[in-house]
């Protein structure tokens, strides 16, 4: 099961977040900061799957954008890895180029 979905830039700013379980606002900021720190500190040669607390992180980097998905132990990491790629491809085709401004637009749309 997917617990959360994050899109983060290289500066560590969360551009888009979606939680599928209730998480308190304060805990979200702490969680996002720790998750971002873990993912940004890894080199491109390292695996894109990280065990973190009671769940796993699956992330993928696209230029200056990191897409991070938190999943439980029963979820297939490779399937989520491909899901991330398909999601970014759809965004790329729909908006013709996935950039930070597009993510700002998505964030405004999702809050409606």
pLDDT of 103 > 80? The answer is no
pTM for this structure? 0.81
Radius of gyration over every alpha carbon of the chain, rounded to an integer in angstroms: 13
Q: What number is the average pLDDT over the span 71-82? A: 94
Pair of tokens at residue 112: 């409606």
CA atoms within 13 A on the CB side of 69: 21
Domains by residue range for the chain, with CATH: 2-95 (3.30.450.60)
Q: With 0-12 CB in 10 A as exposed, 13-18 as middle and 19+ as buried, what is 73?
A: exposed
pLDDT for residue 112: 46
Distance CA 9, CA 16 (A): 10
Q: Residue 93: pLDDT band by 50, 70, 90 thresholds?
A: confident
DSSP string, 52-76: ETTEEEEEEEETTEEEEEEE-TTS-
Using one digit for the tens of pLDDT, what is the confidence trace for 24-72? 999 999 999 999 998 888 888 899 999 988 899 999 988 788 999 999 9
- Choose the most confident range, by mean pLDDT, from 9-13, 73-77, 102-106: 73-77
Q: Find the helix or strand (DSSP H, E) in which 18 lies.
A: strand 14-19
């Amino acid at each position: 099961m997917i617990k959360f979905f994050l899109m983060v830039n290289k500066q560590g700013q969360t551009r888009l977040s979606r939680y599928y379980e209730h998480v308190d606002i304060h805990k979200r900021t702490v969680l996002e900061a720790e998750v971002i720190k873990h993912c940004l500190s890894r080199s491109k040669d390292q695996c894109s799957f990280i065990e973190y607390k009671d769940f796993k992180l699956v992330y993928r980097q696209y230029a200056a954008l990191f897409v991070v998905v938190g999943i439980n132990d029963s979820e297939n990491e490779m399937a989520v890895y491909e899901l991330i790629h398909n999601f970014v491809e759809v965004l790329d085709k729909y908006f013709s180029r996935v950039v930070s401004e597009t993510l700002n637009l998505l964030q405004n749309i999702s809050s409606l």
